[in-house]
Amino acid sequence: MSPMKDNATTSVKVTGFLSDPIANVDGGTQLYLIEFTRKDSEDYGYTSLEIKEGDKLIDELKAKQDDLVDNPVYVLAKVRKSDGEGAVKNYTREFKETIKENKAISQLAETEYYVSADEANTERLYASAGAGIAVLFGLVFFYSAYATRRGEDKAYGELYAAYPELNYSMDTVLENATYVDNQLGIILYKNHLISTFKNFQVYDFNKS
């Protein structure tokens, strides 16, 4: 797995969600167990998603829990490192203790980092108008259908073929995008409209 960066913003494609929180955090947030896979490989694993207690996101994930494989929910979140400034203290130790009895999970768990929807929401509220949001498309969740993966691969291929200067980096897209809406999963880059809602798709305005 590629190393993650503390405080990086990420778009998380949720296809698995444990409805009961695994921990309550000081400040009114809760940690939920989630399953993920990396977009550039088939590696998958588990980590925690921090959500504000009472957030509508919890209700949405619970309501769609049995259908997340086919209809994933995309969540804007910040990658946080255990014991980092402002992060959950002793996260690694406590998370390992929580999952140690389940070998299938513990062997594939990312225990040093977790993702926080709460911090991403707070940051968005205080962000200045027009400020760019660097989104790291590092985490997507497991069980994407083969057809969806194939379609996403084709979409990435089209985008990178159209813009060789990207050098296969979505960070470059987001740094230079004309428009980014993380809630709707929409990015406007030059002549392409990029959608990350449900799955990764690109639309070439020159072909419309």
Per-residue pLDDT, averaged over 60-71, amounts to: 82
Q: What is the pLDDT of residues 167-185, one digit of tens each?
A: 777 777 877 888 777 767 7
Phi and psi (nearest 5°) for 99? Answer: -105, 0
Using alpha carbons, select from 141, 142, 145, 16 the residue that is nearest to residue 68.
Answer: 16
E strand map for 61-143 = 73-81, 113-116, 135-136
Residue 27 has φ and ψ, to the nearest 5°, of 105, -5
Q: Which of 59-68, 127-136, 139-148 has the lowest mean pLDDT?
A: 127-136
Question: Looking at the predicted structure, is the pLDDT value of residue 139 above 90?
Answer: no
Distance (Å, whole) CA 182 – CA 184: 6
pLDDT above 60 (res 1): no
Is pLDDT of 159 > 60?
yes
Alpha-carbon torsion 112, 115, 119, 125, what sign?
positive
Question: What mean pLDDT do residues 3-29 have?
Answer: 82
Higher pLDDT, 101 or 140: 101
The overall average pLDDT reported for the chain is 75
- Residue pair 21/122 in contact (Cβ under 8 Å)? The answer is no
| Residue 203 vs residues 27, 169, 187: alpha-carbon distances, Å | 42, 18, 11
65, pLDDT greater than 80: yes
Question: 24 falls in which pLDDT band (50, 70, 90)?
Answer: very high
For the cut 70, the answer to whether the pLDDT of residue 198 exceeds it is no
pLDDT of residue 146: 40
Region 40-44: mean pLDDT is: 53
Query: In 3D, which of 121, 130, 141, 135 has the Cα closest to residue 185?
Result: 135
pLDDT higher at 148 or 194:
194
The confidence score (pLDDT) of residue 143 equals 34
